[in-house]
A and B are shown apart, each in its own frame.
Chain A
Amino acid sequence: MKLESMYQEIILDHYRRPHRKGLTDPYDAEVHHVNPTCGDEVTLRVRVVGGVVTDVSYDGSGCSISQASTSVMTDLVVGRPVVDALATAEEFLVLMQGQGKVEPDEDVLEDAIAFAGVARYPARVKCALLGWMAWKDATAQAVAAHDSNEDDRESA
C-alpha cells in the first residue's frame, strides 16, 4: 500500500513518542513558525555553545509528519557542530524537494530517511520541513547573537 511508504513505522513512533518536546531553558534563540495552509505550528528553542548545538526543544501542534519530522530533527542536530548540522539540514531539504527521485544517504540522515516517501506528496513536503526550517532560523539567530556579543567584547 502506498500509504505505508509515507507513514513509516519510524514516523509513527516519533509521532506517538516525540523526542525533546516541551520547551526548556536556557536557550539562545526562540522562533515560532507556522504553516498557514494547514495551521501546523511550532515554537522552537536553540542553545548553541562554542559553535555546537547543545540543546533544541520545541512545542507545537500539527500532523504526524510535521511532529515526527521535528522530533527526528532534534536527534540529528543536538550535540553536533552547527556547520555539520546545517549540512544535514541541507541534505534533508534536497531529499524533500526531490519529488521522490533522490536516494537518501542513511549515513547522513539516519532516521530521517523515513521521510523519503513524503517527498512524493507535494502537499506534505512543507509539513516535513516545518521543524527543520524553524531550527535553521533559530540557529542562525543564536549564532548571530553570539557573533554580535563577541563583536561587542572585541570593540570594548
Chain B
Amino acid sequence: MTAASLTALDVERIRKDFPILERQVNGRPLVYLDSAASAQRPQVVLDAMTAYYEKHHANVHRGIYTLAEEATAMYEGARDAVAELLNAPSRDEVVFTKNVTEAFNLVARSIGDAPKGSPLHVGAGDEVLITEMEHHSNIVPWQMLCERTGATLRWLGITDEGRLDLSNLDELLTERTRIVSFTLQSNLLGTVNPTSQIVRRAREVGAIVLVDAAQAVPHSVVDVQELGVDLLGFTGHKACGPTGIGVLWGRRELLEQMPPFLGGGEMIETVTMERSTYAGIPHRFEAGTPMIAEAVGLHAAVDYLREVGLDRIKAHEKELAAYALEALSDVPGLRVVGPRTAVGRGGAISFTMAEVHPHDVGQVLDELAIAVRVGQHCAAPVCRRLGVPATTRASFYLYTTTAEVDALVEGLHHVRRFFEGSVRR
C-alpha cells in the first residue's frame, strides 16, 4: 500500500451506496452503530442478487442448459472472489457454509468423526485450546466435540484490559493439543489479537490452528498465507454480503483428510444402496443445493470492499475508534470494557454506564434512532471475566461518520439525564 492509496475514505459518497442509511427511525435519521452484529448492504449487492434471480437462476452443477451453466459460473465465480480476497493458494480450499457458526461446527463435527488411525483423530487425553474471548460459536462446538470424544477443553484467559493473556501459552498449548481455535478480533471487546506467537507455538507442537475471522475479514486485509493458519471462518452478512452464507477456508491437505459433515446430493462421487464415495473438496462439504444467490451477493460485496480498499476501511475505523474513545470519556459514569486506546483494537467499543443497565441505554438510544447492540453479545464468558453483567456496544464500519459518534455521545448524555429524572416532567 502506498501512502497515496491510503487517502481517507469519502464517507459521504460511500453512504450513498447504502440505501438503508437514508432511513428515518422515530422521525430521525438512522444512526446505525451495530455493524459488528450485521453490516448493511450496498446497492450493488442487492442488484447482483436481483439480477441473478431475474435472469440466471437454475440449480448449479447439474443442468447442461444455458441458465444452469450461468448459475454455476456465478456460484463458482464467488468462490474465486473469496479465494482471491483471502489470498488462498487454491479456490478448492474455499467452502461455502450457512455462516461462520456452521463453519466451526463443520470442523468440530468432522474432526470428531475422524476414526482411530486418522491423523485427525481426537480422543481422551487430547486437548482443544480456545480462549475466554470467543464468541459462543467458537466455544460451544468445541465443548460438544470434547463431550463426544472425551477430549479436554482448555482456554487462554483475558487480562483486565481485555487483551489475550498469553503468559501461560506454553503450558496450555502442548503436544496434547490437537486444535487451537481463537478469534482474530473480539466481537465484544474490539481487541485485535496477535497471531504469530500462537501459530508458532502450535507449529512446534503440531496442533491445527483455526481462526475466527468474522470480525476481521470485513474490516481489514486478511491473508491466510501470511497468517500461516490451517483453517479460517468468516460470515457474509458482517462483510456487506447477504445473510445465509459464510466461508470456511482450509488448507487443502487438511480438508482432504477431513470426513464429510452433512451428507446428501452434491457432496458425493458414487452412491449405491450400500455405500457412497465422496466428492473432492470443496464439494464434499457442500451437501445439497447451495445458497447460490447469496454467493452471488457475497461476490458483489467482496468486489465492493476491495474496490473501496480494506486497508482504507481499517484506517477509517481506527480513526473513528480513537475519536469515539476520546468522546466517550466525556460521558460521566461511562466505562469502556476492553482496550481504551485505539491501538490493537478495531471499531467495536463496549461500555457500561453507572446505574443504567445496557437494555435501558439501548432503549433510550433507539428513541433517538441510534442502533446499538446491548447484552452479552454471544460472549457471556467475557462479561463474567470482566465483571460486567452486560454491555452496550457501538460498532463502526466504512459508512460510519464522526457525526454519528457525536450523536451517540449526545444520546448517552440524554440517557443519563433521563434516568436521573431531570428530563422527566
A residues in contact (CB < 8 Å) with B: 1-4, 6-7, 9, 12, 36-41, 61-67, 121, 124, 127
Contact = CB atoms under 8 A, between A and B. Distances in A.
Nearest to B375: A38
Interface in B338-392: 356-360, 363-364, 367, 374-376, 380, 383, 389-390
Given A3-B364, A64-B357, A39 B418 contact: no
Given A38-B374, A127-B359, 13 more contacts: A1-B367, A2-B26, A7-B418, A9-B424, A9-B425, A12-B419, A39-B375, A39-B380, A39-B389, A40-B389, A40-B390, A64-B419, A124-B359
28 contacts: A2-B26, A3-B363, A7-B418, A9-B424, A9-B425, A12-B419, A12-B424, A36-B380, A37-B375, A38-B359, A38-B374, A38-B376, A39-B390, A40-B359, A40-B390, A61-B357, A62-B389, A63-B357, A63-B358, A63-B359, A64-B356, A64-B419, A66-B359, A67-B357, A121-B363, A124-B359, A124-B363, A127-B359
A121 B383 CA distance: 25
A37 B389 CA distance: 11
B117 interface: no
A66 B389 CA distance: 14
B360 A64 contact: yes
A62 B374 CA distance: 12
B376 A4 contact: no
A94 to B, nearest CB: 23
B345 to A, nearest CB: 23
B383 A39 contact: yes
A63 B359 CA distance: 6
Top 6 nearest A-B pairs (CB, nearest first) are A63-B359, A63-B357, A38-B375, A39-B390, A39-B376, A61-B389
A3 B383 CA distance: 28
A25 B425 CA distance: 40
Contacts of A2: 26, 367
Contacts of B424: 4, 9, 12
Contacts of B367: 1-3
Nearest to A3: B367
A39 B388 CA distance: 10
A6 B363 contact: yes
B125 interface: no
Most B Cβ at <10 Å: residue of A9, A38, A66, A67: A38
Interface in B76-100: none
Contacts of B364: 3
A150 B79 CA distance: 68
Nearest to A61: B389
Contacts of A66: 359
Contacts of B26: 2
A71 B364 CA distance: 22
A121 B421 CA distance: 22
B32 to A, nearest CB: 17
A62 B363 contact: no
A109 to B, nearest CB: 22
Nearest to A127: B359
A19 B363 CA distance: 24
A7 B421 CA distance: 11
Interface in B395-425: 418-419, 421, 424-425
